[in-house]
Amino acid sequence: MRLTKQIALATAAAGMLALTGGTAVQANVSFGDGDRDSRGSGRASSYINPDIGAPTANPDVNRRSSCFSPDRFDRQAFSPAGTVTNNVHNDACFLKGGLKVDGPASFESRGVGFISACPDPDGAGAKVAVLSDRNGDGRDDLCFQSGYQEKGTAGDEEFHARLNNNTGTAGTQIVTWCSDGDRDGCSDERNKSSIRIDWSADGTATYSGLLTRIFSGFSR
């Protein structure tokens, strides 16, 4: 996201509310990089991938967005009903000593939208990915992956998920990524990092009432 937009979006508040189609829900998230967990895994860093050159290329996201220089905010137009045309690519890493390290992790979605893809990290290998709807509302909201991608292709040593909104419900989607050895989501984890997407018909709306940081496209 461009710096001029970032500054305009920054607000100071004691708590954070994510507005979801007129309903306010408490969103306890950290938009910065995470803390190391008790097992000494690397620091969590989640970012939006600009998908340069792909059909889902996202010009609103900093072209240099990465685990080391994350852009964590996007404004996106709905996908047409029943499609994933405008899905958003969310990637993440555990960083330790300048390197990417492995470990079990989850993407957890709140607000509007849903997780549309939770790819297996290594195909036919021992690692697993599990996509689930924890609150029973018909939208997948938790993507657990037992480790980072190891396929011998671009994107290895990172975690990947796709996010979408094809229901026409305007509002904010917060996706928190965390170290998740117990496979139950991010609410009980300290080592986590979040991204935010504001969904609307034309992809230009920004929703107020949210505690935000300046998503400046570089690490804290």
pLDDT in tens, 24-63: 333 344 445 554 443 457 999 999 999 999 989 999 999 9
165 residue type, one letter? N
What is 3-200's CATH number? 2.60.40.10
Look at residue 206 and tell me whether its pLDDT is greater than 60: yes
Query: What's the pTM value of the predicted model, to 2 decimals?
Result: 0.80
Element (H, E) at 3: helix 3-9
Give 113-163 pLDDT, tens digit per residue.
Answer: 999 999 999 999 999 999 999 999 999 999 999 999 999 999 999 999 999
